[in-house]
Amino acid sequence: MAQVSSEISSNSDENTPFDVSIIGAGPAGLFATYYAGFREMKTVILDALPEAGGQLSVLYPEKTIFDVPGYSEVLARDLVTSLVKQATRYNPLVLLGERVNDLKKGEDGVFTLSTDKRQLKTKSVLITAGVGSFSPNKLNVLNQERYEGNGIYYFVKKKEFFRNKNLLIVGGGDSAADWALNLKDVCTCIVLIHRRDQFRAHEQTVKELYNSPNVTVRTFTELKRVDGDETGLTSAVIFDNRSNMEDTIPVDCILINIGFKANLGPIANWGLAMENRAIKINGRMETNIPGIYAAGDIASPTDSVKLNLITTGFAQAALAINVAKKYVDPKAQLFPGHSSEKSA
């Protein structure tokens, strides 16, 4: 990404406030960065992670996404690449690997944004931090710690790593089901176990699971123990939680997809009205603090339904930036015009 740096780049005037600071470089934040540039706003985007893309980059870069307009299907990593290219079109300042610790509004209406490396002045703020920081939920399985990172995994960074492996997947949500289908032509065989017979995954995905010849689905089944040697896993002991009958199956890898713990971190202390660990917004993407907006998974609309979808985040980001433009420059039009009418 352009101007990725641990210091303010030489062509950025640190003494002049930014028009908008975007906190979070996931899909919503990246699109908001493009839109802010389109509206000729001086823009900075920040993220605590060392790379852009949020969950798309960290959790499932090789997962295929089917519900983004304009793409019949697209790999998460390729979508991030396109979003980054779009986001940097108007040369925003990009600060990755920086966590925003504090946000305060001065008497002059200008915000002071404090990271672990610097302070920035900004006229408005858009928070697109997703679910905040996240860590995977773990099981309490015998020998688990011994093989974490060497047989037991929580993320898939490269599908090829699982080539010709016997894979056990634990979970009943979208991640578990989607990875079973994404890896079925890569692995030798896949066994997916779930502790009950009701899945949180999309209904169509579950149907595909049961119809896939290379995926064995075992419900009411849990993981009890893993075994192996110095090179890695060799087997797993699973059990039926109704009868307690055990079964030992050969495995090379185990993928545990049982959800994540999310933590909003410092955001929770910025005086924002919250609802179920999300920031309350109105139809203009405004929070309870004038000049601060939210979009994407972290936003909880008070006058409409909450849908944690990439496409929803895109729309909210565009709305937030246009409203922020009007807030920063009251003479500006709310309607941005059409991008096809603007030269690069």
pLDDT, tens digit, for every residue of 235-267? Answer: 999 999 999 999 999 999 999 999 888 788 899
Record the pTM.
0.79
Partnered with residue 111 across adjacent β-strands are: 105, 122
CA distance 129 to 279: 10
Indicate the burial class of 52 (C-beta count within 10 angstroms; 0-12, 13-18, 19 or more).
Answer: buried
pLDDT, tens digit, for every residue of 191-223? Answer: 999 999 999 998 999 999 999 999 999 999 999
Please say whether the beta carbons of 61 and 89 come within 8 A.
no
Q: Strand 119-122 vs strand 111-115: parallel, antiparallel, or unpaired?
A: antiparallel
pLDDT value at residue 289: 97
Ordered structural domains, the chain, with CATH:
20-134+261-341 (3.50.50.60), 138-258 (3.50.50.60)
Please say whether the beta carbons of 261 and 137 come within 8 A.
yes
pLDDT value at residue 4: 42
pLDDT value at residue 247: 97
Please say whether the beta carbons of 147 and 129 come within 8 A.
no
pLDDT value at residue 9: 39
Q: Which two tokens stand for residue 161?
A: 């790593």
pLDDT value at residue 107: 95
- Phi and psi at 234, nearest 5°, equal -130, -30
Query: Is 150 in a helix, a strand, or coil?
Result: coil
pLDDT tens series, the chain, 344 aa: 443 433 333 345 556 899 999 999 999 999 999 999 999 999 999 999 899 999 898 877 888 899 999 999 999 999 999 999 999 999 999 999 999 999 999 999 999 999 989 999 999 999 999 887 777 899 989 899 999 999 999 988 889 999 999 999 999 998 899 999 999 999 999 999 999 999 999 899 999 999 999 999 999 999 999 999 988 999 999 999 999 999 999 999 999 999 888 788 899 999 999 998 899 999 999 999 999 999 999 999 998 889 999 999 999 999 999 999 999 999 999 888 777 666 55
> Rounded to whole angstroms, what are the CA distances from 132 to 39, 127, 272, 317?
27, 10, 15, 17
Q: Which two tokens stand for residue 155?
A: 């993320």
> Rounded to whole angstroms, what are the CA distances from 298 to 21, 100, 128, 129?
16, 15, 6, 6
pLDDT value at residue 342: 65
pLDDT value at residue 340: 65
pLDDT value at residue 13: 58
- Phi and psi at 27, nearest 5°, equal -55, -45
> Residue holding tokens 């893309």?
53
- Phi and psi at 180, nearest 5°, equal -60, -45
